[in-house]
Amino acid sequence: MSEELLALTAADAAEEIRAGELSSQELFETYRGRAAAEDLNAYVWVHEGPSPEVPPSSRLGGVPLAIKDLFCTEGVPSQSGSRILEGYRPPYDATIVNRLTTAGAPLLGKTNQDEFAMGSSTENSAFGPTLNPWDRGRVPGGSSGGSAAAVGAGLAPWAIGTDTGGSIRQPAALCGIVGLKPTYGACSRYGMIAFASSLDQAGPLTRTVTDAALLLAEMVGQDPLDSTSLEFPEPIEVPRAEDLRGVVLGVPEELIGPEGGVEPGVRARFDHTIALAEELGAAIEPCRLPHAPHALSAYYLIAPAEASANLARFDGVRYGLRVDGQADLITMYGRTRAQGFGPEVKRRIMLGTYALSSGYYDAYYGTAQKVRTQIAEDFRAAFDRFDFIVTPTSPWTAFELGAKTNDPLAMYMNDFCTVPMSLAGIPAISIPAGLSEGLPVGFQLAGPAFSENRLLSTAFALEQAIGFDGSRARA
Ligand code: GLN
């Protein structure tokens, strides 16, 4: 029975529960058993106690959800992968958690991540790295690597993560699943432990495009608790497109050319997917995003600058860890932060503080903001001619554990193709586009702000044509 359950997508499972063919308790217990026994280190906490009762008529049917550690969940450890939040159990739920559980997706467990979502491999976690279900010697991507590995390995029917510069899309690509970063402001950030507030967005990590649409439909919407959130202009629909007639896709040379260092195997899957899109009726044309190659440099000033301010609150007084509370206040702050933060977080705090310091502010932070505006302009101009921009999600497939941990710049290159969309605040989705040497490759589509419905439809039509089979990772 467990194997039959495992074969169901979240949408299928919700349907069976609604039809009375499956009980949500049985589904929950099956997944809880798998989550509790897993050996990928995908979870940092798994639900305890009796399985939650969810009315079968609820919109998400009672299908359990894995949630990235950084979403505040009431009474449940929420550490953002950091030692500094050891012992912290928030007194409230993040708005997204609240919405999804209320809609009928009960919390199955909290998933591993890079500390404060800083990283591309989930190796920067205080809980140790998560392993890739396709090859346990390799990383699952990051920072939402726990969520991606859990869904890829069949340890959760679906999950949510956050994406600041690629943290949903890149792990989804490396684990052979679907990952969507919504338009900035589409989903409330309230209760998400902040990394870079002008970039952070919550989004779904799922087995299929349909599952992503079902979750997203419950996530979007204005929230009085997050003043940057917006009302989504239309309901999110279940995607149904069968062809791509009339759709024009732009292929930006700047992102897939030599600068991005796209691996030949990844390039081959990308070209194959483009050919499928053409068969479905899409027109494919080269496009220009002249400033996109500078996105990574701008991102690595803006994101650390915001992080240095956001992380100032972790001082040993208010949350989690306190080291040497007997010392004077300043000494206690210093010791707590020295022991509580890992090396990548410290690097970002130093970079960010420097970029914001008087005398350097204009040269670094100010210039990066100008580049950000140019990148958004490039996309705006491109969307006059193109419906979507397409790229490989990541230049390469899952790399070996430890391969990039000593080379931050090589690690940062993971997000070469995903960071531009984050800076522009536009939605982008990664779908599995097949395998290269046995490892999954992601195909990214990006559209204008609030184009999620069209983006999901296009991704759905392509997904059907690709026919990716992720079952090997669930075995
Ligand atoms: N890998 C990027 C970083 O380390 C993006 C992370 C993210 O999207 N949270 O900042």
Band (pLDDT 50/70/90 cuts) for residue 259 is confident
What is the arithmetic mean of pLDDT over 383-395? 98
User: Which residue's entry shows tokens 């495009």?
Assistant: 209
Q: Give the pLDDT confidence score for residue 379 in this predicted structure.
A: 98
The answer on pLDDT for 144 being more than 90 is: yes
Distance 144 CA to ligand 1 centre (A): 9
The answer on pLDDT for 197 being more than 60 is: yes
The preferred substitution site among 120, 144, 346, 417 for testing ligand 1, maximizing ligand atoms within 8 Å of CB, is 120
Amino acid identity of residue 202, one-letter, is A
Closest C-alpha to ligand 1, atom 10? 118
Q: How far is CA 55 from CA 59, 60, 106, in A?
A: 9, 10, 11
Report angle CA 243, 245, 247 to the nearest 5 degrees. Answer: 110
What is the arithmetic mean of pLDDT over 32-52? 96
Each residue's pLDDT tens digit, 226-246: 999 999 999 999 999 999 999
Band (pLDDT 50/70/90 cuts) for residue 404 is very high
Contacts of 177 (CB under 8 A, 6+ apart): 148, 151, 152, 205, 206, 207, 432, 470
- Least reliable range by pLDDT among 121-125, 164-168, 190-194, 410-414: 410-414
Any ligand 1 atom below 6 A from CB of 141: no
Buried b / exposed e along 150-184 (16+ C-beta atoms within 10 A): bbbbbbbbbbbbbbbbbbbbbbbbbbbbbbbbbbb
The answer on pLDDT for 223 being more than 80 is: yes
DSSP H helical segments within 84-226, as ranges? 95-102, 145-152, 169-175, 209-219
The preferred substitution site among 70, 80, 114, 302 for testing ligand 1, maximizing ligand atoms within 8 Å of CB, is 114
- 24-28: which pairs have CB atoms within 8 A and are 24 or more residues apart? 24/51, 24/54, 24/56, 24/61, 24/62, 24/63, 24/106, 25/51, 25/53, 27/62, 27/63, 27/64, 27/157, 28/52, 28/62, 28/64, 28/106, 28/108
* Shortest-distance atom of ligand 1 to CA 348: 10
68 counts as catalytic: yes
The answer on pLDDT for 186 being more than 80 is: yes
Any ligand 1 atom below 6 A from CB of 118: yes
DSSP state of 366: I
pTM here? 0.98
Q: What is the mean pLDDT of the chain?
A: 97
Q: Give the pLDDT confidence score for residue 475 in this predicted structure.
A: 84
Any ligand 1 atom below 6 A from CB of 144: no
What is the arithmetic mean of pLDDT over 104-122? 98
Any ligand 1 atom below 6 A from CB of 119: yes
Band (pLDDT 50/70/90 cuts) for residue 84 is very high
Q: Give the pLDDT confidence score for residue 172 in this predicted structure.
A: 98
Peptide bond into 457 cis (omega under 30): no
What is the arithmetic mean of pLDDT over 424-436? 98
| Full set of structural domains in the chain with CATH | 2-248+385-474 (3.90.1300.10), 293-367 (no CATH)
Distance 148 CA to ligand 1 centre (A): 15
Distance 195 CA to ligand 1 centre (A): 9
Each residue's pLDDT tens digit, 324-352: 888 899 999 999 999 999 999 999 999 99
Task: Give the separation between CA 441 and CA 444, rounded to whole angstroms.
Answer: 10
**Alpha carbon 366 to chain centroid, angstroms:** 27
Any ligand 1 atom below 6 A from CB of 120: yes
The preferred substitution site among 70, 124, 144, 164 for testing ligand 1, maximizing ligand atoms within 8 Å of CB, is 164
Q: Give the pLDDT confidence score for residue 257 in this predicted structure.
A: 79
Q: SS3 of 46, please? A: strand
The answer on pLDDT for 258 being more than 90 is: no
> Strand locations in 153-247, DSSP E?
158-163, 178-181, 201-206
Contact 416, 254 (CB under 8 A): no
The answer on pLDDT for 56 being more than 90 is: no
Task: Give the separation between CA 409 and CA 280, rounded to whole angstroms.
Answer: 38
The answer on pLDDT for 1 being more than 60 is: no
The answer on pLDDT for 158 being more than 70 is: yes
The answer on pLDDT for 439 being more than 90 is: yes
Each residue's pLDDT tens digit, 5-21: 999 999 999 999 999 99
Q: Give the pLDDT confidence score for residue 287 in this predicted structure.
A: 97
What is the arithmetic mean of pLDDT over 19-26? 96
Percent over 90 (pLDDT), the chain: 96
57 counts as catalytic: no
143 counts as catalytic: yes
Percent over 70 (pLDDT), the chain: 100
Catalytic residue among 24, 51, 68, 78: 68
What is the chain's length?
475
Q: Give the pLDDT confidence score for residue 2 in this predicted structure.
A: 80
